[in-house]
């Protein structure tokens, strides 16, 4: 089906491949088959580096482990039901807090 070798998978179930044959501009072809919705922001940083030829080999499991200060990777949620919507947004009731009176409108002279 694919003319490539499976290199690995990530925690989201995405599969990463490298080409078997002809190189493109002197570099091997690398690609990802997404699990579920195709969204580039679902690629974690360690695999992004490999896909874009920043590193020669995928990072090891040890190198890819999160540090205590790192947050878990989250894909871009814009346009989904899980996107951030501030208070007063139409999808959150559309009720904004009343103005506090500290705003003074500008009017040209």
Task: Look at residue 8 and tell me if it is in a domain.
Answer: yes
Residue 99 domain flag: no
pLDDT surpassing 70 at residue 64: no
Would residue 19 count as lying in a domain?
yes
Burial zone of 44 (CB within 10 Å; 0-12 exposed, 13-18 middle, 19+ buried): middle
pTM of the model: 0.63
Mean pLDDT of 88-102: 77
Q: Cα–Cα distance between 41 and 83 in angstroms, integer?
A: 14
Its domain, for residue 86, covers 4-92
Q: Residue 42: inside a domain, yes or no?
A: yes
Most confident stretch, 25-29, 47-51, 74-78: 47-51
The answer to whether position 76 is within a domain reads yes
Spatial contact of 91 and 83, defined as CB atoms under 8 Å apart: no
Note whether residue 102 is domain-resident: no
Q: Residues 14-44: pLDDT tens digits?
A: 999 998 877 777 888 999 999 988 888 888 8
Phi, psi of 31 (to 5 degrees): -155, 170
**How many folded domains does the chain comprise?**
1
Is 108 within the bounds of a domain?
no
Q: Answer yes or no: is 109 within a domain.
A: no
């Amino acid at each position: 089906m694919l003319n490539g070798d499976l290199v690995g998978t990530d925690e989201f179930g995405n599969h990463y491949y490298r080409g078997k044959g002809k190189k493109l501009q002197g570099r091997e072809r690398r690609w990802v088959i997404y699990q579920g919705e195709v969204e580039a922001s679902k690629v974690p940083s360690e695999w992004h580096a490999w896909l874009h030829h920043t590193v020669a080999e995928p990072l090891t499991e040890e190198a890819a482990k999160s540090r205590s200060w790192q947050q878990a990777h989250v894909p871009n949620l814009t346009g989904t039901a899980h996107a951030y919507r501030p208070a007063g947004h139409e999808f959150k009731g559309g009720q904004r807090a009343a103005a506090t009176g500290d705003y003074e409108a500008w009017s040209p002279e």
